[in-house]
Structure 1
């Protein structure tokens, strides 16, 4: 090894470690987004089911949907009663990494039949 080649291995290792860190960060963001969407979908499903039950009992379906969505760390964005069915849309905060600033939403429908 000549004197001019000293430290070349260190630069190569640092470049690979930087690439590994970048890929790991990107995978972390994707995993956080998938997890947040799963939470949103679960909250929407539960809120729609609770709303459908309350609608069948003659109670305020959208109030039940809002209560259940809040209990599942989500916010009720919309609630629509269509005959005997209820359609809800809930929103959860998305990850705020690497410039991601939007929230994630999910939609669910429930009713008899």
Structure 2
């Protein structure tokens, strides 16, 4: 009876190992998506900040603030989605393509403001 019981347990460790490997693969893929989303968000915010600064400087000099913002956003792999100039204050919005892993389809957006303190 002991030998047949031992025979029935054969392969159980292999099944457990395969299941744990699959779980680790899933967790690794999920962490990869989260990491990619964080990088894309930081890229979007940096592009928005730089575009707003460039636009505010251009506005202070009397130039095309939104044109400068679009140029800087494009140089930072982002698309300018909004640009509002009020005097020397500029508010911009940008969009960055998000990761397309594991069914993710959303893009990331960020906004920034630059100009003199108080408006």
Aligned twin of 1:5: 9
In the alignment, structure 1 segments of 5+ residues that lack a partner are none
RMSD over equivalenced CA pairs, Å: 0.8
Aligned twin of 1:29: 33
Residue number among 78, 98, 103 corresponding to 1:99 in the alignment = 103
SS in 2 for 1:2: helix
| TM-aligned CA deviation for residue 82 of structure 1 | 2.2
Number of aligned residues = 113
What does 1:73-112 correspond to in 2, within 5 Å? 73-112=77-116
Asked which structure has the greater CA Rg, the reply is 2
* TM-superposition CA deviations, 1:35-82 (whole Å, max 9, x none): 000000000000000000000000010000000000011100110112
In the alignment, structure 2 segments of 5+ residues that lack a partner are none
